[in-house]
Amino acid sequence: MNKKCIGSIVLISVFSLQLFAQKEKREQVKSSQTAYEKYIDANNDAHLKEFIELVSIPSISSIPANKPDVDKAAAWIVHKLKAIGITTAQTIPTEGNPVVYGCWDKAPGKPTILIYAHYDVQPVKEPEWTIPPFSPKISDGKIFGRGASDDKSGVLITIWAVETMLRTAGKLPVNVKFIFDGEEEKGSPSFKGFLDKNKDLLKADFALNADGSQYSETTPSILMSLRGAAILEFTIQTANTDAHSGQFGGKTPNAAVALSQVIASFYTKDGNVAVEGFYDKVVPASLQEKEMIKKLPYDASRDMKVLGTTAETGDTIFSPLERIWYRPTLEIIGMQSGYTAAEGHANIIPGNAMARITCRLVNNQSGKEIIDLIVKHINKNLPVGARVTYKFSNGYTRPMKFPADTKAYHYVSDALFTIYGTQPLQTGHGGSIGPLIDINETLGIYAYSLGLQLADERKHAANEFFRLSSMRKGQLLYCYYLQHVADEESKLKNK
Amino acid sequence: MNKKCIGSIVLISVFSLQLFAQKEKREQVKSSQTAYEKYIDANNDAHLKEFIELVSIPSISSIPANKPDVDKAAAWIVHKLKAIGITTAQTIPTEGNPVVYGCWDKAPGKPTILIYAHYDVQPVKEPEWTIPPFSPKISDGKIFGRGASDDKSGVLITIWAVETMLRTAGKLPVNVKFIFDGEEEKGSPSFKGFLDKNKDLLKADFALNADGSQYSETTPSILMSLRGAAILEFTIQTANTDAHSGQFGGKTPNAAVALSQVIASFYTKDGNVAVEGFYDKVVPASLQEKEMIKKLPYDASRDMKVLGTTAETGDTIFSPLERIWYRPTLEIIGMQSGYTAAEGHANIIPGNAMARITCRLVNNQSGKEIIDLIVKHINKNLPVGARVTYKFSNGYTRPMKFPADTKAYHYVSDALFTIYGTQPLQTGHGGSIGPLIDINETLGIYAYSLGLQLADERKHAANEFFRLSSMRKGQLLYCYYLQHVADEESKLKNK
């Protein structure tokens, strides 16, 4: 890496020079990686066994009954960290689920890399899974199971990379601190408190987010923005009990209808959100961001094929990627009323109806303000005979943007280029990873995403999977990254 | 009963005469009933035990897994019928669940009374029950459990009445045929076929429906109309899988939202149904029906208190009882989309959303035509990116009206007056009892309703109950009815 480039924006004019330097480095690296590759290949079966073990544990953080499983997953990881010879491996209690902390600190004077991932998973809607979500199956070069991609892949690949370096070289070229979150899938409500309490322990020079993804199997990418998130559950009640649809039908309010009317009122005809004030703090995408989008080989049919959708929706004055990355949303993520079991039917007018909302937020939108606006809208649009109760979420995740003009960005970019052999694209992401904001605010560093997940891996949905080929690529990526940071920082120090 | 009145409309001018005659009869009857009352009171505990036994059997006809329970309930009733000394007691197979048939035919030359009730029950939404639905509890003068009111009360009270007469007098004054339906709660799809096949066996002079109700504990009533019913389930699909609400939110159609928009489109602002052609075959209530409604001491707050509603809805150009009895409805009886378990939440854009509709029909509305109109409406109002599949119901129940100018009507009216001491009101009912239409069409007789259920007994809802006081009153009512028909028909014959 040309030192002149470090800390400055990568300009098109220096691109050819940079490419040349990176290619040269890549050749050097190739031979030194042979040892890693040998170790990785020799241990593939053992790692696969570990993958199956960890995915088998239903560590669903949002369901209290699964707390023992969350603890079991944390203990499993601590055990694994100890087995690879890390200096310190332990769970650190928080106000919620523990964070798994691992530290290898035997490289005094060398930089410290903080690696974030999460070991908790989303809940499952069992009937939609064609394979059991917690009895992982290997098939067609993939491992299927809840959390296989999001984010047990992140936990394991980073541990295996460190294992590979320790077993191969007997040491790491940098210091490494792992923090594995146990509450990411419920918005990491305890993570900020954990960081505040352990600020000194977690001091680091660079941070990585292993809960990240690449643009495709062959095209790497770096995440430049995340949306925030806010959740609200509300129940519309029209009666204290369900009513016989014959006996009372015609004069009795129907909660399912009332809920549908309220939900329909959330949207304008052009696919925008009709809640007053919803877009007030939204800033349009910058020219730079629009340029970034133009560079991306966006293929509308790709996601449509993955999801089985037949149309892209939303306001067409914004491009699809602008809508996903730089526009806020109001989604109904769950809705229930009346008797809905697959078999049988109850001929009733439902007395209550429940819906859950997730908003994805951008720019300076505040989760609390947005939820307040929605509550105001619901209260104003309640049909006659309907009353409403709210269940507010514990916390909101703020939106975040990542700068491209940092050393940290370049190290990530270099590693991706070296392993993929092609310059990474810049992307946004419509999702929310609160801990990355917390890390930035508390520790003053940006946790750039360096993960191997891919868009079609059905994260949060049924039959989630992870590509086995990404295990090898991910370990090499992390091995190279750690070595590269050590080399570059050493050069800077000795300058 | 004054013979001149038989077969003619009861006119106000003969009312005083009729009242006098009925009162006289009532006095005569009182003494002859003492023996019945003694038997009923002496056997109250045994009957209560039987009530608990029968309600304990979860004979839910619409859930295939409960088929053994349906059969168990049928077998229980056959056993009970045999125990009271009925001539024939057996199950008769149909294309679906068996009909329980019981016959006492040792009164040659006397009229035959056909008694309809049903032994199947509605499904339950367990979490909403504060007592287990199939472990009946006696409390506060009530028996709580699914089917306690609808309609195991009807099955048992009619059997107990016959038991009382057989045990007290050693015989019945008329012939009695019981037919207990095992599919009423799923629309009695096999009942018409059963009647057609067993037309000769079921020949009768009069019919009663023991799945009926009274206006209040002190005011009897006779059912003059029923609405029809048609059911439709539809699923809106926007994707083949749920999608991560961050990753895809903003350009991806949401099935829960699409369903809500379709449901909202079913209604006009004034509370009517917006489906084109929905009201085309609706005839306004006749002046006579409007007069009947005026006579009823309608108390809006009564149902509102029972249900816990805060408003009466629907088009106010029709009175509440007109809306319930003489206007069709389109109700959402169940609706589900996304992850809706009480604990946890999944941050997804649901790929599919399901709703179940029940329409209540009037006049010459055809279930098939109405469902066709709704399908047309849904297809026309599908949001962009949404597709729909339909699950059609097996059958439709047609609306029905009962004449007041029949002997059969008067016998029911006389019995109610005698037991309650007050003239019965005429009422409509917004519900649907298909078998009553089938009986009328196949056997040529009207099955007037003579049941003890009351409006507040949470039929089809959680914590259904039946009043213990109605057990005694119901038995006396049926004992008196059977004797009265025998007496009156005998007088007519000997005239």
The answer to whether the beta carbons of residues B227 and B367 sit under 8 Å apart is no
Are A122 and B259 an interchain contact pair (Cβ–Cβ within 8 Å)? Answer: no
Show which of residues 59-78 on chain B sit within 8 Å of chain A, judged by CB atoms.
60, 62-65
Name the E strands within B363-463.
387-392, 400-401, 425-429, 447-449
Task: Using an 8 Å CB-CB cutoff, list chain B residues near A347.
Answer: 122, 185, 229, 231, 333, 358, 460
Show which of residues 122-181 on chain A sit within 8 Å of chain B, judged by CB atoms.
122-123, 125, 128
pLDDT of residue B14: 42
A198 and A245 together in one domain: no
B155 and B203 together in one domain: yes
Amino acid at A212: G
Q: Is the peptide bond before A151 cis (omega within 30 degrees of 0)?
A: yes
A54 and A139 together in one domain: yes
Cα Rg of chain A, angstroms: 24
Q: Give start and end residues of each alpha helix (H) in A56-132.
A: 67-83
Q: In this structure, how many other beta carbons lie within 10 angstroms of the beta carbon of residue B280?
A: 11
> What is the distance in angstroms between the Cα of B327 and the nearest Cα belonging to chain A?
7
Q: Report how far residue B73's alpha carbon sits from residue B58's, in angstroms, rounded to the nearest whole number.
A: 8
A427/B contact by beta carbon, under 8 A: no
Question: Which DSSP category does B317 fall into?
Answer: T
pLDDT per residue over A167-218, tens digit each? 999 999 999 999 999 999 988 989 999 999 999 999 999 999 999 999 999 9
Structure tokens at B441: 């069409």
pLDDT of residue A26: 59
Q: Report how far residue A142's alpha carbon sits from residue A351's, in angstroms, rounded to the nearest whole number.
A: 45
Are A251 and B462 an interchain contact pair (Cβ–Cβ within 8 Å)? Answer: no
Point out the domain boundary residue: A373, A392, A411: A392
Q: How far apart are the first and last CA of chain B?
A: 14
B353 and B462 together in one domain: no
Question: Which DSSP category does A17 fall into?
Answer: H
- Count of residues making up chain A: 495
A118/B contact by beta carbon, under 8 A: no
Please check whether residue B303 lies inside any domain of the structure: no
pLDDT of residue B18: 56
Provide the domain count of chain A.
Answer: 2
Amino acid at A374: I
State residue A273 phi and psi, 5-degree precision.
Answer: -90, 130
B338/A contact by beta carbon, under 8 A: yes
Please check whether residue B317 lies inside any domain of the structure: no
Are B248 and A324 an interchain contact pair (Cβ–Cβ within 8 Å)? Answer: yes
Q: Are strands A142-144 and A137-139 parallel, antiparallel or unpaired?
A: antiparallel
The answer to whether the beta carbons of residues A55 and A152 sit under 8 Å apart is yes
Cα separations in angstroms, B317 against A384, B320, B452 = 17, 9, 32
State residue A414 phi and psi, 5-degree precision.
Answer: -60, -45
CATH of the domain at B361: 3.30.70.360
Long-range Cβ contacts of B63-71 (<8 Å, 24+ apart)? B63/A341, B63/A343, B63/A344, B63/B123, B64/A343, B65/A343, B67/B97, B70/B97, B70/B119, B70/B120, B70/B182, B71/B97, B71/B98
Point out the domain boundary residue: B392, B423, B446: B392
* Mean pLDDT within A294-310: 91
Q: Give start and end residues of each alpha helix (H) in B43-169.
A: 44-55, 67-83, 152-169
- Specify the 3-state DSSP secondary structure of B350: coil
Q: Report how far residue B147's alpha carbon sits from residue B164's, in angstroms, rounded to the nearest whole number.
A: 23
Please check whether residue A234 lies inside any domain of the structure: yes
Minimal-distance CA residue of chain A relative to B125: A339
Task: Using an 8 Å CB-CB cutoff, list chain B residues near A327.
Answer: 250
A185 and A253 together in one domain: no
ipTM of this predicted complex?
A: 0.80
A368 and A450 together in one domain: no
Q: Report how far residue A48's alpha carbon sits from residue A6's, in angstroms, rounded to the nearest whole number.
A: 38
**Residues with Cβ within 8 Å of residue A139, at least 6 apart in sequence:** none
For a pLDDT cut of 70, what percent of chain A falls above it?
93
Task: Using an 8 Å CB-CB cutoff, list chain A residues near B312.
Answer: 251-252, 385
pLDDT per residue over A112-124, tens digit each? 999 999 999 999 9
The answer to whether the beta carbons of residues A148 and A51 sit under 8 Å apart is yes
**Residues with Cβ within 8 Å of residue B15, at least 6 apart in sequence:** none
Q: Report how far residue B80's alpha carbon sits from residue B84's, in angstroms, rounded to the nearest whole number.
A: 7
B278 and B162 together in one domain: no
pLDDT per residue over A331-375, tens digit each? 999 999 999 988 777 889 999 999 999 999 999 899 999 999 999
Report the residue of A233, A260, A262 to disrupt the B interface, i.e. the one with the largest count of B CBs within 10 Å.
A260
Please check whether residue B268 lies inside any domain of the structure: yes
A141 and A212 together in one domain: yes
Q: Report how far residue B160's alpha carbon sits from residue B176's, in angstroms, rounded to the nearest whole number.
A: 13
- Burial class of B167 by CB neighbour count within 10 A (0 to 12, 13 to 18, 19+): middle
pLDDT of residue A14: 42
* Nearest-10 Cα torsion for A438, A223, A158, A101: 0
Residue-averaged pLDDT of chain A: 92
Please check whether residue A313 lies inside any domain of the structure: no
pLDDT per residue over A394-409, tens digit each? 678 889 999 999 999 9
- Specify the 3-state DSSP secondary structure of A49: helix
pLDDT at residue A298 tops 80: yes
Cα Rg of chain B, angstroms: 24
Report the residue of A460, A463, A465 to disrupt the B interface, i.e. the one with the largest count of B CBs within 10 Å.
A460
Question: Would you report the helix, strand and coil content of chain A in percent, each value rounded to 5?
Answer: 40, 20, 40
Handedness of CA A348, A350, A356, A359 (dihedral sign): positive
For tokens 């009207």, what's the residue?
Answer: B446
> What is the distance in angstroms between the Cα of B143 and the nearest Cα belonging to chain A?
18
Nearest to B242 among A249, A260, A460 (CB): A460
Q: In this structure, how many other beta carbons lie within 10 angstroms of the beta carbon of residue A375?
A: 16
Q: Report how far residue A214's alpha carbon sits from residue B104's, in angstroms, rounded to the nearest whole number.
A: 80
Structure tokens at A267: 């949207």
> What is the distance in angstroms between the Cα of A209 and the nearest Cα belonging to chain B?
17
Please check whether residue B469 lies inside any domain of the structure: yes
Domain region containing B419 = 3-225+399-494
Handedness of CA A74, A75, A79, A82 (dihedral sign): positive
Q: What stretches in chain B show pLDDT beneath 50?
A: 1-15
**Nearest by Cα to B273 from B310, B229, B314, B334:** B314
Are B122 and A64 an interchain contact pair (Cβ–Cβ within 8 Å)? Answer: no
A46 and A100 together in one domain: yes
A416 and A452 together in one domain: yes
Structure tokens at B50: 């039987």
Point out the domain boundary residue: B392, B420, B435: B392
The answer to whether the beta carbons of residues B193 and B398 sit under 8 Å apart is no
CATH of the domain at B69: 3.40.630.10
Q: In this structure, how many other beta carbons lie within 10 angstroms of the beta carbon of residue B421?
A: 12
DSSP string, B119-130: --B----GGG-S
Are A309 and B252 an interchain contact pair (Cβ–Cβ within 8 Å)? Answer: yes
Are B257 and A251 an interchain contact pair (Cβ–Cβ within 8 Å)? Answer: no
> What is the distance in angstroms between the Cα of B260 and the nearest Cα belonging to chain A?
4
Q: Tell me the sheet residues that pair with B331.
A: B358
B384/A contact by beta carbon, under 8 A: yes
Q: Report how far residue B288's alpha carbon sits from residue A408's, in angstroms, rounded to the nearest whole number.
A: 86
Report the residue of A60, A267, A309, A323 to disrupt the B interface, i.e. the one with the largest count of B CBs within 10 Å.
A309
pLDDT of residue B10: 36
- Count of residues making up chain B: 495
Are A241 and B461 an interchain contact pair (Cβ–Cβ within 8 Å)? Answer: yes
Are A63 and B344 an interchain contact pair (Cβ–Cβ within 8 Å)? Answer: yes
- Burial class of A269 by CB neighbour count within 10 A (0 to 12, 13 to 18, 19+): exposed
Q: Report how far residue B385's alpha carbon sits from residue A177's, in angstroms, rounded to the nearest whole number.
A: 46
Whole-model pTM: value is 0.79
Please check whether residue A292 lies inside any domain of the structure: no
B179 and B67 together in one domain: yes
Task: Using an 8 Å CB-CB cutoff, list chain B residues near A303.
Answer: 248, 251-252
Angle at which helices A44-55 and A152-169 cross, to 10°: 150
A327/B contact by beta carbon, under 8 A: yes
State residue B200 phi and psi, 5-degree precision.
Answer: -70, -45
Are B244 and A459 an interchain contact pair (Cβ–Cβ within 8 Å)? Answer: yes
**Residues with Cβ within 8 Å of residue B30, at least 6 apart in sequence:** none
Please check whether residue A185 lies inside any domain of the structure: yes
B438 and B365 together in one domain: no
